Amino acid sequence: MSINRFSFTIIFFTLIFFFLVYKLYTIQILKSEELTFYAERQQTRNKEISPVRGLIYDRNGLLLVYNRIEYSFSVDMRMARKKEQDSISKIFSKTFNKPAQHYLNLMRNSKRIVFLERNVYGEAVSKLKKLSLPGFAYEEIPSRVYQYDDLAGHLLGYTNSANIGIDGVERTFNKELAGTKGNRKIVRDAIGNMITVENNEYEPSISGNNILLTIQKNVQSFLQTSLDSGLATFGATSATGVVMDPNTGEIIALANVEDYNPNEYSDYTNEQRRNRSITDTYEPGSTFKSFAMAAFLDNKICRADELIYGENGRYRFKRITISDVHPEEWMTVKEVFAKSSNIGMSKLSQRISDEDFFTYLRGFGFGNATNISLPGEVNGSLKKPNSWSSYTKSSLSFGYEISVTPIQLITAYSSLINGGLLFEPQLMKKITDGGERIVQEFKPKNIRRVISEETSKKMREFLVAAVEIGSGKKAKINNISIGGKTGTSRQLIDGKYSTEFYNSSFVGFFPAENPSYVILILVNAPTKSSIYGGDVAAPIFRDIAKKIIENDPSLKHKISDPAENEEFIFAKTVVDTLDSRRINVVADYSTDIAMIDNNIIPDLRGRSLREAINVASKLNLKYEIIGSGRIVDQSIAYGTKVSPGLKIKLYAETNLNLGATLY
C-alpha cells in the first residue's frame, strides 16, 4: 500500500513537471510573439498629441480667437479604495466649493470611470495635477476661446468638443487651422499609472496656421451695438448688417441679431446660429431700383434730365394698378429714382429688352452665389427671360419677382458705386505660420465689369439725391456726403404677400465722392413706430456711419465739402436746379430757327406733335412717334448735328399742365 502511494506521488509530480515544461515551451517558444504583443499592449499605450489650433486675428492684428488647455479629472473606481475616495472628495470640495458628499455620490454611483469635473482651468488645476492617488487621473483638453464672446459669432463660427470647425470661418478653413496630430508611447505599471515616455517613438504635433481676417473689431462692435439698439427700438424680429469696402470687396463687419456666443454654442438653437446674411433670401423692394436704373442708364434708354409723368401716384399697367407712396406729376429720371417712384421705374423698364435687362442683373451677380468664404450660402433667385410674364420687367424694376441675400445685395452695390467692377466678397487677408512667414495672401478678386465708369458716377449722383431729397433723409450726416437707397418690401408668407410683415432696408455709402464704406441694414418685421426703410433702417445706418467716421482718421483726407464738388451739386440744390429746367410751353422759336438753319437738332420737349414733326421734316430727319400729346423726350440729344439717314424717336405724353411751366 505504501509503495503504491509512493508510485502515485512520483507519477503525479512527473506529470506536473512535464505539464509545466510544456506550458513554458508554449509560452517561450510557440506563442512568444503573440504573448509579447499582448504584454506590450497592456503595459504601453500610444497617445495622440493634439496640435495647437491656429489663431484668428482681425485686419489690424487684434486677437479674436485663441486656445486654452482645460482639464478633466476622473477616478477609476476599480482602483480607488474607500480611503482614496474620501481624500479625493475632501480635496475637490475645498477646491470647487461643493459639498464633499456630492463627489462621494458621483464615485459610489459608478462602477468604472467617473468624471468629477470637466473643462477646468486656472489656479485650481495646478494643485489637482499634483495629486498621486490610486485611480485618480486627468486629461488635457484643448479648448477654443472666443475672446469677445458674441462678437462676429456668425462670421467666426465655432468648433466642437473635438476641436473641429463646425461653422463659419472655423469650418471653411478648418484644414489650415487644425494642424497635424502627433504621437507618443507611454509605459504604464500594473495599475495603470504612467512610468515613462518612450522618447525614441515620439512624433511631435504641428500647430495650425494663423488667419488674419478682413474684419475690423471696432467696426464689428459698432455694427452689433447699433443693430441691437435698432431691434429694440423698432420691435423687429431680427436684423442683419454688413459693412464692406466697395473698392476691394473686403468685409469690414458682418452681423445678425439676435446673435450667439460661440463659447457656449450648444446653448443656442440652429435658428439662432444660422448666418442669415448668406442663407436667407428676400425680395429687396426699392433698394433694387439702383440696379434697374443703372441698366437703363448704361443701355442709354433714358437720360437723367428726361421727364417722366408720374400719373399722380396711380398708374394702370395692363390689368394691375401700380402705386407710389408720394404722388407726383412730372419728374426727371433722376427724381424718379430719388423719390423712389414705382410708376416711373415701371415705365422706363418697358424700354429695355428682356434679354438686355436680364444680362445686366445677372452681371451684378443676382441668381448666383457670391462665393464668400462661409458655409451655407444660397444663390437667391432670378428667373430667366423665357419664364418672364408681361409684368416681370415692371416688377423687377422696383424689386419684386426676385430674391436676394444681403451679401449679394451689398456686393452688387459695391460694383454700382466703385466704377462698375464686381468684386468677390473677401474675408481673408492672409494665412501665416506660427511665426511671421506668410503661407497664403489674398488679393481682391475682380470678377467682371458690370457698368461703365460714367454710369457708376451717375449712380453715385442719383444715390446722393435719394438721401438729400428722397426717402433716405434720416441717413444724412453733417459735413459728409452720403449716398444710399431705402427699401420697404412685403414679406412673402405661404406664397402670398403679407400686409402685416415687411422687410425694411437701407444701403448707403460714404464719402459719396470717394466711397470707402458701403453699409447694408436689413430689419425683419418692425412693429413699432414705422415699417419704412427710411424710418427704420436709415437711422441705424446713420448711427453706425457716425461711429466709423469718428474713429477712422484715414477718412479725413477723403472728406470734402459736397458743395464744392460739382458731381453732387444737384443733390444739394435739386429744387433750384429743377426750376432752371422748367420748360416753357409757349416758347420762342427764334432759337430753334437758328439751330435748324445750321442743321442742328433743337430741344423739342414741350412741343406739340405737329410742331415736332414740322421741325423733323425741315431737318430731313426720319422720326418715330411714341405715345400721344406733347413731347416729353427725344432719343437724340438737342445740339446734335444731323447726319444723313438719322432717325429720332419722339416720346409724347398726355395730361400735360399747359400753364407757364412743365415739371
Residue 663, pLDDT score: 21
Which of 43-47, 292-296, 312-316, 326-330 is the least confident region? 43-47
Domain count for the chain, please give it.
Answer: 4
DSSP state of 27: I
pTM: 0.76
Q: Which of 545, 576, 607 is the last residue of a domain?
A: 576
Per-residue confidence (pLDDT) for residue 143, from 0 to 100: 86
Q: CATH code at 165?
A: 3.90.1310.10
* pLDDT recorded at residue 493: 81
Quick one: cell of 347?
415705365
Residue 659 lies in a domain: no
Does residue 608 belong to any structural domain of this protein?
A: yes
The cell for 584 is: 416753357
Q: What is the Cα–Cα distance from 43 to 32, expressed in whole angstroms?
A: 16
Q: How confident is the model at residue 594 (pLDDT cuts 50, 70, 90)?
A: low
Range of the domain at 601: 582-653
CA–CA dist 334, 78 (Å, integer): 83
pLDDT of residue 113: 85
Instruction: Label residue 249 exposed, middle or buried (CB < 10 Å: 0-12, 13-18, 19+).
Output: buried
What's the CA gap between 123 and 334, in Å, rounded? Answer: 67
Same domain, 34 and 55: no
- Tell me the mean pLDDT in the region 311-326: 90
Residues sharing a CB contact under 8 Å with residue 454, sequence separation 6 or more, in sequence order: none
Q: Is 376 found in the same domain as 282?
A: yes
- Residue 632 Rama label (left phi>0; alpha psi -120 to 50; beta): alpha
User: Which residue has cell 506563442?
Assistant: 31
Q: Is the pLDDT of residue 191 over 60?
A: no
Residue 124's pLDDT is 74
pLDDT range class, residue 25, cuts 50, 70, 90: low
What pLDDT does residue 188 have? Answer: 57
Mean per-residue pLDDT of the chain: 84
Question: Integer distance in angstroms from the first to the last C-alpha of the chain?
Answer: 142
Cβ–Cβ < 8 Å for 50, 207: no
Q: Where do the H-state alpha helices sit in 508-654?
A: 533-551, 569-572, 574-580, 590-597, 609-618
Task: Show the cell assigned to 573.
Answer: 440744390
Are 30 and 167 members of one domain?
no
Tell me: do 353 and 320 sit in the same domain: yes
Same domain for 594 and 542: no
pLDDT given at position 218? 96
**Could you tell me which of 127, 170, 155, 350 has the C-alpha nearest to residue 251?**
155
Closest C-alpha to 366, from 303, 426, 294, 275? 294
Alpha helices in 469-602 (DSSP H): 533-551, 569-572, 574-580, 590-597
- One-letter amino acid at 272 equals Q
Q: Are 518 and 508 a contacting pair, CB within 8 Å?
A: yes
Q: Are residues 637 and 524 in the same domain?
A: no
- Cα–Cα nearest to 333, from 305, 352, 360: 305
pLDDT of residue 486: 95
- Strands 647-653, 630-634: parallel, antiparallel or unpaired by DSSP? antiparallel
Query: Which range is least confidently modeled, 74-78, 416-420, 555-559?
Result: 555-559
Query: Which pLDDT score is estimated for 56?
Result: 96
Q: Are residues 483 and 509 in the same domain?
A: yes
The answer on pLDDT for 586 being more than 50 is no
Does residue 661 fall inside a structural domain?
no
* Angle subtended at Cα 573 by Cα 572 and Cα 578, rounded to the nearest 5 degrees: 135
Query: 405 and 480 share a domain?
Result: yes
Same structural domain for residues 113 and 246? no
Give per-residue pLDDT as tens, 630-657. Answer: 788 888 887 788 888 888 888 877 544 3
Do 337 and 457 lie in one domain? The reply is: yes
The answer to whether position 662 is within a domain reads: no
Q: Residue 283's pLDDT band (boundaries 50, 70, 90)?
A: very high
Confirm whether 336 is domain-assigned.
Answer: yes
- For residues 308 and 347, the answer to whether their CB atoms sit within 8 Å is yes
Average pLDDT over residues 34-50: 60
Choosing from 576, 610, 638, the residue where a domain stops is 576
Mean pLDDT over residues 587-610, rounded?
68
User: Which H or E element spans position 501?
Assistant: strand 496-510
In 3D space, the residue among 257, 217, 183 whose CA is nearest the CA of residue 64 turns out to be 217
Write down which residue in 576, 595, 611 finishes a domain.
576
Residue 448 inside a domain? The answer is yes
Query: What is the C-alpha separation between 470 and 290, in angstroms, rounded?
Result: 13
Positive or negative, the CA dihedral 382, 385, 388, 392 is positive
- The reply to whether 663 falls in a domain is no
349 and 231 belong to one structural domain: yes
The Cα–Cα gap between 171 and 146 comes to: 15
Mean pLDDT of 397-424: 97
SS3 174: helix
Is the peptide bond prior to 258 cis by the omega test (within 30 degrees of 0)?
yes
Rg over alpha carbons for the chain, rounded to the nearest Å, is 37
In the numeric block, which cell numbers belong to residue 603? 430741344
The pLDDT value recorded for residue 240 is 97
Among the listed residues 225, 265, 245, the one whose alpha carbon sits nearest the alpha carbon of residue 59: 245
pLDDT of residue 644: 84
pLDDT digits (tens, 9 = 90+) for 485-530: 999 998 878 778 888 899 999 999 999 999 999 999 999 999 988 8
C-alpha cell at 154: 456668425
**pLDDT at residue 576, rounded to an integer:** 37
Q: What is the pLDDT of residues 241-259, one digit of tens each?
A: 999 999 999 999 999 998 9
| pLDDT (tens digit per residue) in 98-145 | 998 988 888 888 778 888 888 788 777 877 877 788 888 888 777 899
Q: Are residues 249 and 360 in the same domain?
A: yes
The answer, yes or no, to whether residue 603 has pLDDT greater than 90, is no
CATH number for the domain spanning 596: value is: 3.30.10.20
Residue 189 has pLDDT above 60, yes or no: no
- Per-residue pLDDT at 64: 97
pLDDT reading at 612 higher than 90:
no
Tens-place pLDDT, residues 67-87: 988 888 888 888 878 888 888
Within-domain flag for 658: no
Note the pLDDT of residue 43: 55
Write down the pLDDT at residue 557.
59
**What pLDDT does 512 receive?**
93
Q: Tell me which of 300 and 123 has the higher pLDDT.
A: 300
Q: Is residue 326 a contact partner of residue 416, using CB atoms and an 8 Å limit?
A: no
Dist CA 515 CA 494 (whole Å): 40
CATH number at residue 230: 3.40.710.10
pLDDT tens digits for range 337-370? 999 999 999 999 999 999 999 999 999 999 999 9
